[in-house]
A and B are shown apart, each in its own frame.
Chain A
Amino acid sequence: MSGSAAALLSVQDLSVQFASGDGVVKAVSEVSLDVGACETIGIVGESGCGKSTLAKAIMRLHPASSGRIAVQGQDITDLSLDALRPVRPLVQMIFQDPYHSLNPRHTVGKIIGRPLEVARWRRADIAERVHVLMNQVGLPADAYHRYPHEFSGGQRQRIGIARALALQPRLLICDEPVSALDVSIRAQVMNLLQDLKEQLGISFLFISHDLSMIRHFSDRLLVMYLGRVVETGSAEALWRNPAHPYTKALMATAPIANPKAARARQRVTLEGDLPSPLNLPPGCSFAGRCAFAAPLCHAQRPDLRAGPDGRRFACHFDLWDVPFGAMPAPVSPMPASKEITHAVE
């Protein structure tokens, strides 16, 4: 069996590939992670980095190409849907879009009680449990017989959260749970998740591109770039002292809601675009945008290795003491993608 006995979720060398007309897309490559009890792991990265695919693979919504997924020590990678059924309640998911993840024709009571129906609960027990759940996430009792369209985005996200909690999961996967919500509503939902974490002792896999939110909420971070983990470690350590140039770039370019701090830090930007995930070149996938890239980086892919503060990072060089702003400007823009392979004339 893969994974340590203590881990609630253990992912080992997981890869997910898609065949497309133009070649193979390696959406997730050799990702390993353990989630312990009452722990929150934040997954950070830009669109196309594979964070949502990773979540779906863990939920067994995408087949894994290789690697193992274990929940509470039980390998679920190849379980049949029937055999998976007793495991499913342990890991539940909240989606980004509260408008499209709820059936518009079902009442709120029906939506929240649906997982219980599937688990063959008795009807009277379902109604009782749904009312407890609605109370837990701060929905009014009269919501039971109403429909999703009668609720605002924040309230709808609460419905999604109640549904995810119905079967008392031990791990909640949240894929951009507040991105679609208004700023003032985001804090409400984040605080609700925080309360649930404390009251129920649930673990979280929290996926977001919003660094300030993810740092606020997470114990550990997993930074992904083009399907691979480039750095992982405690949220504080990575924030204070990122070791991988990509983590440095993310931390340095994320807007901070403090004008003086924003002016005080060096205005640096990471040039180039995310390369196409099709037919990636050998070597480090970040090399094309990295100011430190050396010939070695283009030839050989760096493996994850140990760094300061118990982190692991995938870079050939020891750069944790070098601030992003001190990085030399690239002499000429490196080819960042198939699209941008010719230098400016």
Chain B
Amino acid sequence: MQPLLDVRELEVKLFTRSGTVTAIDRLSFTVEEKETVALVGESGCGKSMTALAIMGLLPSPPARLTGGEVLLQGRDLARLGDSAMQKVRGRQISMIFQDPMSSLNPVMTIGAQLSEILRRHMGLTGASARKRAIELLAQVRIPDPQRRYDAYPHELSGGMNQRVVIAMAIACEPKLLIADEPTTALDVTIQSQILKLLRDLQLAYGMGIIFITHDLGVVAEMADRAVVMYAGRKIEEAPIDPLFEQPLHPYTRGLIGSTPAAEGRHSRLAEIPGSVPSLRDLPAGCAFSNRCPSVFAACHSERPPLIRPAPERAAACLLVQP
């Protein structure tokens, strides 16, 4: 069976005046239908850049796709021209971002923004576009959708606006939804509403979801599998149960240890020393070697290959036994 999305050896470089850096380093992963894959990592690890590369929205310059394939049901999006890609975006893949206000036009009503998508991609017109837009608003559980249709973004709360953005994202029933930190700007109780909404919509539409987050709590709630990234590379991949129970990479262990657990209050948290290195001066060998508690001589010279110690699991660490 061919996966819904098959990202193969994706490579993105940033060409800047002060030199070229590799933002995404031969990243491969798949997403099946109805599956949620979390891309996990800290700022600068390349998780958002990966989303933009899949969407064909890399900020260029300085970023450029320099290698790899992005196969959506077997079709390579990386080789599509701009106009062909425009038909894919919104229709087959959509994306929601962290800040709903930055995805909405402040001087257009939310209804007009929704209808625009339906007219452009679904060929609906006038009254039928309006009817479908109101259906979508109801589906993302916006109360009183008839009246909300004519509301402007500033008249709605952050949580409501994120629902509008989700309605726009699912308007064309995409096969793949990319959610980039969709709940980071929201409060705890609103976050749980939005996560539930995404789960319900996934059941209803059967779409695959790429969920980008730095929050391991959200990963545990939402994802089937997780890809952990560090400095542009996949350093671990696993279904979430084994990932949390038995993380293989020291960085994943550090991330899990630095999140307060349900037990052991007042004990010290596990620290990862130092900070995320700049892509410009990554240490030689393993990029994590200068922060790793298990580091040994070979880590400073040898770049750890991705080892697959068990089905569905992978880790890039010299300590992992095949």
Q: Which residues of A contact B (CB under 8 A)?
A: 46-47, 152-155, 182-188, 190-191, 194, 209, 211-213, 215-217, 235-236, 249-250, 253-262, 267, 269-271, 273-274, 333, 337, 339-340, 342-345
Contact = CB atoms under 8 A, between A and B. Distances in A.
A258 B145 contact: no
B155 interface: yes
A345 B134 CA distance: 11
B215 interface: yes
Query: Looking at A182, A217, A271, which has the most chain B CB atoms within 10 Å of its CB?
Result: A182
Contact of B189 (A46, A188, A191, A333): A46
Contact of B187 (A46, A186, A257): A46
Interface centre among B143, B240, B271, by most chain A C-beta atoms within 10 angstroms, is B143
A209 B193 contact: no
A267 B214 contact: no
28 contacts: A46-B189, A152-B275, A155-B275, A182-B276, A184-B254, A184-B275, A184-B276, A187-B270, A188-B273, A211-B188, A212-B259, A212-B260, A249-B189, A250-B188, A253-B191, A254-B217, A255-B220, A256-B220, A257-B216, A258-B220, A262-B217, A262-B220, A269-B196, A333-B143, A337-B157, A342-B143, A342-B147, A344-B144
A38 to B, nearest CB: 13
A216 B266 contact: yes
Nearest to A267: B196
B275 A344 contact: no
Given A184-B275, A211-B188, 16 more contacts: A183-B216, A183-B258, A184-B254, A184-B271, A187-B269, A212-B260, A215-B265, A255-B221, A256-B220, A257-B219, A259-B240, A261-B262, A273-B190, A274-B157, A342-B143, A343-B143
Contact of B272 (A187, A217, A340): A187
Contacts of B221: 255-256, 259, 262
A69 to B, nearest CB: 27
A47 B262 contact: no
Interface string B172-211: 0000000000000001111111011000000000000000
A183 B259 contact: yes
Given A260-B241, A339-B157, A342-B144, A253 B261 contact: no
A107 to B, nearest CB: 21
Nearest to A251: B188
B131 to A, nearest CB: 13
A218 to B, nearest CB: 9
Nearest to B216: A257
Interface string B156-169: 11011000000000
Given A186-B258, A212-B260, A47 B187 contact: yes
Contacts of A187: 257-258, 269-272
A293 to B, nearest CB: 16
A338 B272 CA distance: 46
B190 A259 contact: no
A340 B189 CA distance: 17
A186 B256 CA distance: 12
B17 interface: no
A160 B189 CA distance: 30
A184 B273 CA distance: 8
B157 A269 contact: no
Given A182-B43, A184-B42, A216-B265, A257 B157 contact: no
Contacts of B157: 273-274, 337, 339
Nearest to B239: A259
Nearest to B230: A184
B21 interface: no
A337 B190 CA distance: 14
